[in-house]
Amino acid sequence: MAPSVLLSALIAGILGLLAHAVVGRYLWQLPVYLVAATVGVFGGEVIAALTGGGWLRYGNLPVGSAVIGGCGGIILAWLITFRAMTRDDGDERGGNRSRLGAGTR
């Protein structure tokens, strides 16, 4: 395997695990952040190659563009998973009052 692909996979793995450590709450979010970081890193590399540039190039790999793309993918994944976790189920009483017995008659 090419060293640039391995470095890209390493950067994506670090970004995905770091994102899960910072904002992840559930185990099912870990693969979501890893996939989002991988897609973002390789997407950042493709965009850098198409535009003919790249930021913080290390050999053939535009590391800065890959990190920016990975962070963008993680932010998008966080927005999607945050929306899935905070979806309102129609309960007018907020919190966990019914489980604690407070506010019931």
DSSP track, 4-35: HHHHHHHHHHHHHHHHHHHH--STTHHHHHHH
User: Span 61-75, mean pLDDT?
Assistant: 92
User: Span 85-97, mean pLDDT?
Assistant: 55
Q: Which amino acid is at 74?
A: I
pLDDT attached to residue 30: 92
pLDDT attached to residue 89: 47
Q: Please, which pLDDT band fits residue 100 given cuts at 50, 70 and 90?
A: low
Enter the pTM of the model.
0.75
- Compute CA distances 57 → 8, 11, 61, 104, whole Å: 12, 14, 6, 62
